[in-house]
Structure 1
């Protein structure tokens, strides 16, 4: 009998949420520059051959045992005895010379396709034909296998730190490094029955403190956007539409130094500034569409709950809600309101264990199920909303990385929109830049690239406002 593992409860949630219209896979789009002196076609052909000949490590050879019963609470991963690497590693090409628009169209199409659960749920697409001496790799993986934090750790382990390292193992060929001495033990990436029971027991023990924090959030808050956000504060917007089967994808890249300078000047965090430029971009973009709500949009913010020494694996993530203050016109006042809302949200979780954070997050976001049900039903009339958009920031490597001598230039995340949250904005930091991926539903959200442009304008507006204070 082959190897097998149980899925954790959080992993099972992502499997239960999988439908043809709510695709629960995450992805990354990596831009590379060819090594000097190579023939592009020959280089990529050899790269694909090397990928298909490489060994496969856990969990990349696991498939679901009960793939036809996605909505059951317990799932088991089993080794795919007929694993076919040619199916998972694919070679694609754009009409040369392909630009960002053509690449975005291809990624939008690839991200709209559901993964095949008869096989291990991941794919890797090597894409040639880009202009500017570049090629790209788009890799998508079901969220039941990894979260964003784990994805970045996998990225770092699967790439070399120098261009001379031409034998570095690919991400699916790397084994998880040994746990540092004295570090906290984590559950297996795809779980087991013992870890499931241990997690449930630990969560039960956190109930009193979690309920106290939840009551303080829901009942004790004030009426301004500078307090902790409740579960029923979000306005109705086009972002809360029902999603279809097709996606739109857009990208933007910023120098991290620009955001840090604003953060330092305003005593804010980098995440606060990221939310502020997204808020400014959303305010302008929705106003262009005559669809800006009077009340501020509410962002769903994922929170990594792993210890600092963690190498990732499976899913270990909480979440909170933050006001984006999109009702405030002045960019500095808007940033201040976002900073205050973010601090209030963090204060509610301060001192909680990882299990308590996840339990608190689940209870805080539980009412979102009502807005999802309304979006799916298509029924008219008002309904309480918990959130409007997801904004996530995943820290990445600070130095340049390489793949068989090709330098990695950018890492754009491609995440998950869903019913009543038709837009997801995820950022990856890499080698001094912040790379943003905007993924949205094609029918619900027109002109997504314009939103990406509007965030750039919002950053320039913030910088000008900060400079005006000097």
Structure 2
């Protein structure tokens, strides 16, 4: 009898989200420079080593229990006793000249393909042929297995801090810690729970119904003037990002100096995340103006919030949410950053004093209208439905020191996330060794020329740095 592990409510949501054209997998693109004097067979040997390692740990050896022809979110994880590692670990080559454009085209194609949910839901692609003898690794994992926090824990655990260390296991040979036993409170915090039950959970952690009312007044009652700077979901303007998506994806990247973003934040009394949101807002302003699609009101971003303790070992998902304006309605870069800072501060204030469970419950309550937004996009009537938010922006802190894989130095790390119906654009920033890498993921049909948005975001950073009196050191767009 195979071992069964029931799905959590949040896992069920991510799996139920696997609807037509919506694929709930996340990925990472890692670019490496091989060690000096590496043999011509270096990458082939690395792939052979990966395939020879049959020590696959939990959860990478788990698949969904088959339930026949009827799709359902209420399934269990079961150990795959016949795991085919050759299916999960693959090797690809870029066409000459092997530049960033060719890599982006390949990653766009790989990210457009759904994971086979009859197998453990992950893939690892070794990609050779990059200019300068470099290579890349693209790892795709279903979001029910990990969130950004867990993914970063895995990255650090599977790479070395020195070029000489050669025996670190690959990620699928590193087990994730078991999730703690769910309590009734945790179950109520799942995004599939009813709104009334969620409200009760929040109230139980914030002290009283009156406190609950004050906390949800800003986000859910748009006609109140309690917190005008707080981005209310149904105040978000409808735009082209909120339509129905197709199955094909487009991927673009940017890499910036972390020090530049921090110095901008210091001069303007803003957080690193505020600077990130602001430069994206400026990039979207230019990009949508070029398409003649810029709304008069600011776009609103959905911002995932990690609610784990600092010593949490990772595994599964523990994600809250806030909403914030991106300042796309403001031309001046410094004024835009100030508006973003005010919006995020107000949103984070809502979470002050809440427990982890209460934040999860509050986030679900806040995001409750999103289902109607997605249904409107699927039905082709998105412009006639209330719009909760326009895009997703995530900030994942990464390792501060350089990392290595079998002597190869990790040069850049780019997140590759999830667009969904009514949210055709997802941008994630990840810090690493003095840089930040931005991964832009969008629906190929809904968002034409995604590369132009990446370039416009770099230009937005340059404009903000100049206006703030900071010397810009903007990396090239890829």
TM superposition shift of 1:200: 2.2
TM superposition shift of 1:216: 4.3
SS at match of 2:393: strand
Partner of 1:5: 5
SS at match of 2:442: strand
Alpha-carbon contact 1:221-1:228 (below 8 Å) kept: no
In the alignment, the residues of structure 2 paired with residue 248 and residue 281 of structure 1 have an alpha-carbon distance, to the nearest angstrom, of 17
User: Mean Cα displacement is larger for which, 197-206 or 20-29?
Assistant: 197-206
Partner of 2:194: none
Q: Deviations over 1:181-240 (max 9, x none)?
A: xxxxxxx34x7xx52645226765433538431134333887699611112111010111
Which of the numbers 202, 205, 226 marks the counterpart of 1:206?
202
In the alignment, the residues of structure 2 paired with residue 221 and residue 342 of structure 1 have an alpha-carbon distance, to the nearest angstrom, of 20
In the alignment, the residues of structure 1 paired with residue 352 and residue 18 of structure 2 have an alpha-carbon distance, to the nearest angstrom, of 32
Shift in CA distance, 437/374, structure 1 to aligned 2, threshold 3 Å: same
Q: Deviations over 1:36-79 (max 9, x none)?
A: 11123x11111011111121111000000036578635321000
In the alignment, the residues of structure 1 paired with residue 67 and residue 417 of structure 2 have an alpha-carbon distance, to the nearest angstrom, of 22
Alpha-carbon contact 2:222-2:232 (below 8 Å) kept: no
In the alignment, the residues of structure 1 paired with residue 75 and residue 323 of structure 2 have an alpha-carbon distance, to the nearest angstrom, of 30
TM superposition shift of 1:81: 1.5
User: Mean Cα displacement is larger for which, 197-206 or 211-220?
Assistant: 197-206
Alpha-carbon contact 1:225-1:323 (below 8 Å) kept: no
In the alignment, the residues of structure 1 paired with residue 341 and residue 117 of structure 2 have an alpha-carbon distance, to the nearest angstrom, of 41
In the alignment, the residues of structure 2 paired with residue 67 and residue 102 of structure 1 have an alpha-carbon distance, to the nearest angstrom, of 40
Shift in CA distance, 304/217, structure 1 to aligned 2, threshold 3 Å: same
Shift in CA distance, 260/224, structure 1 to aligned 2, threshold 3 Å: farther
Q: Deviations over 1:269-297 (max 9, x none)?
A: 00000000000000000001111001110
Alpha-carbon contact 1:303-1:320 (below 8 Å) kept: yes
TM superposition shift of 1:150: 0.6
In the alignment, the residues of structure 2 paired with residue 16 and residue 34 of structure 1 have an alpha-carbon distance, to the nearest angstrom, of 40
Partner of 1:47: 46
5+ residue gaps, structure 1, are 178-187
Partner of 1:347: 349
Alpha-carbon contact 2:431-2:437 (below 8 Å) kept: yes
TM superposition shift of 1:464: 1.1
Partner of 1:378: 380
> What TM-score, normalized to structure 2?
0.91
In the alignment, the residues of structure 2 paired with residue 447 and residue 333 of structure 1 have an alpha-carbon distance, to the nearest angstrom, of 28
In the alignment, the residues of structure 2 paired with residue 222 and residue 254 of structure 1 have an alpha-carbon distance, to the nearest angstrom, of 40
Q: Deviations over 1:335-365 (max 9, x none)?
A: 1000000000000011111111111111111
Alpha-carbon contact 1:4-1:62 (below 8 Å) kept: no
Alpha-carbon contact 2:242-2:382 (below 8 Å) kept: no
Shift in CA distance, 154/226, structure 1 to aligned 2, threshold 3 Å: farther
In the alignment, the residues of structure 2 paired with residue 436 and residue 15 of structure 1 have an alpha-carbon distance, to the nearest angstrom, of 26
Shift in CA distance, 387/205, structure 1 to aligned 2, threshold 3 Å: closer
Q: Alignment RMSD, CA only?
A: 2.1
In the alignment, the residues of structure 2 paired with residue 214 and residue 11 of structure 1 have an alpha-carbon distance, to the nearest angstrom, of 26
Partner of 1:183: none
In the alignment, the residues of structure 2 paired with residue 70 and residue 2 of structure 1 have an alpha-carbon distance, to the nearest angstrom, of 21
TM superposition shift of 1:379: 3.0
- The 5 Å alignment of 1:279-294 reads 279-294=281-296
SS at match of 1:96: coil
In the alignment, the residues of structure 1 paired with residue 126 and residue 232 of structure 2 have an alpha-carbon distance, to the nearest angstrom, of 43
Alpha-carbon contact 2:369-2:388 (below 8 Å) kept: yes
In the alignment, the residues of structure 1 paired with residue 308 and residue 387 of structure 2 have an alpha-carbon distance, to the nearest angstrom, of 29
Shift in CA distance, 334/69, structure 1 to aligned 2, threshold 3 Å: farther
Shift in CA distance, 162/217, structure 1 to aligned 2, threshold 3 Å: same
> What TM-score, normalized to structure 1?
0.93
Shift in CA distance, 371/467, structure 1 to aligned 2, threshold 3 Å: same
SS at match of 1:118: coil
Partner of 1:185: none
Partner of 2:408: 406
In the alignment, the residues of structure 1 paired with residue 134 and residue 83 of structure 2 have an alpha-carbon distance, to the nearest angstrom, of 31
TM superposition shift of 1:259: 0.3
Alpha-carbon contact 2:282-2:327 (below 8 Å) kept: no
Aligned: 1:32 with 2:59: no
Partner of 1:184: none
Moved over 2 A (4+): 1-4, 66-75, 200-212, 215-226, 379-382
Alpha-carbon contact 2:15-2:73 (below 8 Å) kept: no
Partner of 1:181: none
In the alignment, the residues of structure 1 paired with residue 101 and residue 395 of structure 2 have an alpha-carbon distance, to the nearest angstrom, of 24
Aligned: 1:92 with 2:92: yes
Aligned: 1:463 with 2:465: yes
TM superposition shift of 1:375: 0.5
Q: Deviations over 1:142-179 (max 9, x none)?
A: 001011111111111111111111111111112347xx
Shift in CA distance, 413/70, structure 1 to aligned 2, threshold 3 Å: farther
5+ residue gaps, structure 2, are 190-197, 471-478
In the alignment, the residues of structure 2 paired with residue 429 and residue 380 of structure 1 have an alpha-carbon distance, to the nearest angstrom, of 35
